[in-house]
Structure 1
Amino acid sequence: MNLNETLLRRYKEDGFVKIPNVFSKNEIDEIIKTLNTFQKMMPNCFLEEILTMWIQKKK
């Protein structure tokens, strides 16, 4: 399990970032891939910000 998967799980479990249950398994996989890509391009970007953008886009 990579870092982003671990963080995403932690956020989901702790409710630190509210991830709506509207995300399907495929979407969560896509989010994890996106997080990995973002982390390579922008290592200083906070994962919370990326997750928040995804959630806003989904609504």
Structure 2
Amino acid sequence: MPSYIVGQDGQGRWIALESHGLGGGYFRSREAAFQYAVAETGRRAGAVRLSTEPLRIAL
């Protein structure tokens, strides 16, 4: 099952990023990013973490 990291990029946009880089996206708020990540992980305890470092989506 996937795990997600939620945080902001260098420009302050909120990101939810699957730990292997296979999913995720940009969101309007931290709450929206968390809701997406929690839904994608099936509400599994410990599957969503908050990053203190800037995140980046590799395209």
Shared fold per TM-score greater than 0.5: no
Q: Higher strand fraction: Structure 1 or Structure 2?
A: 2
Q: Higher helix fraction: Structure 1 or Structure 2?
A: 1
Higher-RCO chain (CA-CA 8 Å, sequence separation at least 6): 2
Q: TM-score, normalised by structure 1?
A: 0.32
Max radius of gyration: which structure? Answer: 1
Q: TM-score, normalised by structure 2?
A: 0.32
